[in-house]
Amino acid sequence: MADITLSLATRTTLLQLQRTRALIDATVQRLATGVRVSSITNALAFFNARSLTDRAGDLLGIKDNISAATSTVGAAVAAIDSIISLVNQMRSLAVSVKGSAASGPVATTVTGNVVADTTVRVRSALAGAELGDSFDITHNGTTTTISIRWSTDFDDVVAAINAISGLTATVSNGNPLVITAADGQDIVIANNVNDLATDLGLATSTNGSVGGTGTLRAAAETQFDSLRIQIDNLVNDTTFLGVNLLKALPDSLTVKFNEDGTASLTVSGIASDSTALGISAVDSADSFATDAGIDTIVAQLDAALTTLRTTQSTLGGNNTLINTRFAFTENLINTLEDGAAKLINADLNEEAANLLALQTRHDRALGALSLSFNNGSAISALLQLA
């Protein structure tokens, strides 16, 4: 086979075609991948971009955790708002019935055995009684011991009971010993030394009440306790992803703000149920029976509101900080991804223009080469096919 001899101009044109073809291939690759450098063409830029992208990926997980923390603390803050609303309703309810009609207390009574002669010594009249026997009587939280001495008669026992604040005792020949608490509080009686209370026929009585509340007050008590239960229900429902910052034994939440955990925030839960707030049930205790009782409840509610506003401020401050870090992390991720893109990403508009220019250069060089051969030789055709 005879060697093909090419002129210098033809060789130069062929080299230009080869280089242009390589540039076209590289440009097409950049358009297809969107990346203008690789670990081979620019190792420094490539690995710097990889480092930025890796950190952005790590921060995406941190961002998700911060987002969950924002929702958890936000749920607690929203719950506090609702609890404050309930407490305000309870306060308005209590104040609204103050001064309304109340039927007054029902006296508590204790009735003992019939006494034939009140002047007879107790130890003589009671078969089981002995010198020094005693019993305890408790009323309004105060306990008093009643004892019998050598000369103690039934009138002496009555006198000792009448000396107790809030209690009245009566006895007469042929009638039982009767103890009365006009305020309706319970009278608790227990043997102390031997069985003197039992021998006298005296036993604990809860048959009184501190006051008939009246229809309006009774209805308010029932509604008040219903609202109190709603506070506890609301607190129990404030669980988000297994964390409850307001329940009786509250959880705490630790939020990490960076990859190595050197920046973090621990949000301590604050018990905010009715017991923690010091709000008492009122229905069974007839707390609305008197205006003084209502004043006591209102004072509890005022203290609870103060506590709730402090809790709201504390959790709200934490929530603001967490939201700030969430926004910062989101912006930092965008900055890292943008920085990586600037290092390695191709400008598709620029690359498309370059491709058009290279294709034009390639076509013109190919046309010039064709003129170097007679009628478009096989070499020219081969180059066109390439």
Q: Which DSSP category does 201 fall into?
A: T
Please say whether the beta carbons of 224 and 90 come within 8 A.
yes
Total number of residues shown for the chain: 386
Lowest mean pLDDT of 9-23, 30-44, 370-384, name the range: 370-384
How confident is the model over 360-365, as a mean pLDDT? 70
Alpha-carbon torsion (82, 87, 88, 94), positive or negative: positive
Q: Is 38 or 386 the better-scoring residue by pLDDT?
A: 38
Tokens representing 248 are 């009786």
How confident is the model over 326-347, as a mean pLDDT? 83
pTM score: 0.58
pLDDT at 375: 44
How confident is the model over 289-309, as a mean pLDDT? 94
- For the cut 60, the answer to whether the pLDDT of residue 382 exceeds it is no
- For the cut 80, the answer to whether the pLDDT of residue 15 exceeds it is no
pLDDT at 343: 75
Per residue in 146-186, pLDDT (tens digit) is 999 989 999 999 999 999 999 999 999 999 999 999 888 89
How confident is the model over 221-229, as a mean pLDDT? 95
Q: Is 385 or 90 the better-scoring residue by pLDDT?
A: 90
Per residue in 19-55, pLDDT (tens digit) is 777 766 666 676 666 666 766 667 887 788 888 888 8
Nearest CA-CA partner of 234 in 308, 318, 321: 308
Nearest CA-CA partner of 59 in 315, 334, 298: 334
pLDDT at 21: 74
Please say whether the beta carbons of 83 and 273 come within 8 A.
no
Distance separating alpha carbons of residues 295 and 99, to the nearest angstrom = 11
Those residues whose C-beta lies under 8 Å from the C-beta of residue 140, and which sit 6 or more positions away, are 165, 166, 183, 185
Burial 344-368 (b: 16+ CB within 10 A, else e): bbbeeeebeebbeebeebbeebbee
pLDDT at 107: 86
pLDDT at 27: 62
Per residue in 106-132, pLDDT (tens digit) is 789 999 999 999 999 999 999 888 899
Rounded percentage of the chain residues whose pLDDT exceeds 70:
80
- pLDDT confidence of 275, banded at 50, 70, 90? very high
pLDDT at 377: 52
- Indicate the burial class of 168 (C-beta count within 10 angstroms; 0-12, 13-18, 19 or more): middle
Per residue in 300-327, pLDDT (tens digit) is 999 999 999 999 999 999 999 999 999 9
Please say whether the beta carbons of 243 and 136 come within 8 A.
no
- pLDDT confidence of 385, banded at 50, 70, 90? very low
Average pLDDT value for the chain? 85
Q: Is 163 or 369 the better-scoring residue by pLDDT?
A: 163
pLDDT at 18: 73
pLDDT at 143: 95
Alpha helices in 5-42 (DSSP H): 8-33
Rounded percentage of the chain residues whose pLDDT exceeds 90:
57
How confident is the model over 93-115, as a mean pLDDT? 85
